[in-house]
Amino acid sequence: MEFGKLALNDAILKGLAAEKYTAPTPVQEQTIPIVLDRKDVVVSAQTGTGKTAAFALPILQILFQSQDTVKRGKNIKALIVSPTRELAEQINENFKAYGQYTNLRTGVVYGGTAIEPQIDRLNKGVDILIATPGRLLDLAKQNYARLGRVEILVLDEADLLLDMGFIDDVNKINKLCSEFKQTLLFSATMPMKVKALANTVLRNPESVTVSPVASTAKNVEQRLFYVPIGKKIELCLHLLRNTIKGNTIIFRRTKFGVDKLEKALLKNGYKVGTIHGDKSQAARQEALNSLKDGEINILIATDVAARGIDVDNLDAVVNFDLPNVPESYVHRIGRTGRAGKTGIAYSFCAAEEKPYVISIQRLITKIIKVVDDHPYPLDPKEKPQVHKKQGSKHKKGRKSAASKKKKKRWY
């Protein structure tokens, strides 16, 4: 199928051609007609499947067609709520690219940066606003962000919005918008709390499910290294010197961990940038741009930034700390191996992180290949048991109950 068959107008098709988009992805093909029919929709799709265009293109189409009949002013017509600053910026860039041949006005607001330029932008008028919840409510309270005329509300990465504690803010935003609005909810996973939110804010929604929740990128080779927790930095340096090549994102669980690893890598002569919650938005954007522009080749980040990172030609992902939420593993390694390219995911597992490996492998229904040939192996007593196939001491057809249980383990 081509985009032209989705009833998109010439201005938007011209923008897609300029961005070298030729055919819609499955999530776009299924979602765009539903949105154009002005129905509410719940979409379950992993990051990297093209879901931003799945809501951006029909929103641009709907607003572009209504320009002649609706008086332009300061009223926001479409609102996209994003959990992170990086993701908000990425969505804003996409709207500008797809709508470059329309005269629709876009804007983005988020915390961690000066509010005055954002107020100025809103005062000039925007048709489409992309926002993080906290800053949006601040601006709405001061009557700079007027939400009463919002025609389309998008809740993007809904599972992450709830994981970050934004449920009350989302409900407040929903109530500030017109009760007659169209609502679109996108989520990489569909836990019960997301389904409950959908039941609260959507009316008779259509449902689109594109890929299994547990799917990991087919073009990503996954490698697992068992290593003492105190030797992880040494292993990271060893792999950077001998194995890992190209642009790399390293994930750590805490901001303190990000800063500690940054110091170690800088000390060893690596060009590094960092992204975490304590960094100003300007610093975070500068680090991301430095990676995209080739000024650095290593970015260290926490999970909060994982879904907002969109970098072409990312060669590797390193899970320095394994995530305690298995779905985060899928999001992390999904940063590489995109658009038909290949990538490698390296995961470090200390003794206390073994339960995380089990949870991850259960989720992805796959055993991650263990690499034993490295200088900092875990003590054999601390490694997961390796269960050998039954030998001659068990007669044919008479395997013990214990041996049957062993075969069911995920590690």
CA–CA dist 292, 286 (Å, integer): 10
Domain interval for residue 349: 220-370
Domain stops at, among 209, 235, 264: 209
- Report the candidate in 207, 194, 197 with the shortest Cα–Cα distance to residue 174: 197
SS3 category, 249: strand
Alpha carbon distances (Å) from 78 to 127, 153, 173, 242, 367: 6, 6, 13, 49, 43
- What's the pLDDT tens digit per position in 360-405? 888 888 899 999 999 999 877 666 554 333 333 344 444 444 444 4
Q: List phi, psi (to 5°) of 155.
A: -105, 105
**267 shares a domain with 183:** no
Give the chain's domain count.
Answer: 2
**189 shares a domain with 44:** yes
CA–CA dist 213, 221 (Å, integer): 19
Count of CB atoms situated within 10 Å of the CB of 134: 14
**363 shares a domain with 344:** yes
**165 shares a domain with 240:** no
Is there a domain that residue 405 lies in? no
Residue 346's beta-bridge partner residues?
A: 223, 318
Q: What percent of the chain has pLDDT over 90?
A: 58
Is there a domain that residue 409 lies in? no
Burial 283-302 (b: 16+ CB within 10 A, else e): ebbebbebbbeeebbbbbbb
CA–CA dist 230, 320 (Å, integer): 12
**189 shares a domain with 66:** yes
Greater model confidence, 249 or 190 = 249
Is there a domain that residue 365 lies in? yes
CA–CA dist 228, 348 (Å, integer): 9
**250 shares a domain with 202:** no
Is there a domain that residue 301 lies in? yes
**173 shares a domain with 281:** no
Q: What is the mean pLDDT of residues 281-293?
A: 84
Is there a domain that residue 191 lies in? yes
Q: Does pLDDT of 335 surpass 70?
A: yes
First to last CA, the chain: 42
Q: Residue 123 sits in a domain of what CATH number?
A: 3.40.50.300
Q: What angle do CA 51, 54, 60 make, to 5 degrees?
A: 135
Q: What is the mean pLDDT of residues 246-265?
A: 93
**155 shares a domain with 282:** no
Is there a domain that residue 380 lies in? no
Helix, strand, coil percent values for the chain (each to nearest 5): 40, 15, 45
Is there a domain that residue 408 lies in? no
CB-count burial class (<10 Å; 0-12, 13-18, 19+) for 223:
middle
Q: Largest alpha-carbon pair distance within the chain?
A: 84
Q: List phi, psi (to 5°) of 221.
A: -80, 130
Would you say 350 and 227 are in contact if contact means Cβ atoms under 8 Å apart? Answer: yes
- What's the pLDDT tens digit per position in 174-212? 999 999 999 999 998 888 999 999 999 999 999 999 865
* Strand duo 206-209 + 248-251: pairing: unpaired
**231 shares a domain with 180:** no
Q: What is the mean pLDDT of residues 296-306?
A: 83
- Report the candidate in 203, 183, 163 with the shortest Cα–Cα distance to residue 327: 163
**232 shares a domain with 176:** no
Can you read off the two tokens belonging to residue 96?
A: 């500008």
For tokens 């547990």, what's the residue?
Answer: 214
**339 shares a domain with 258:** yes
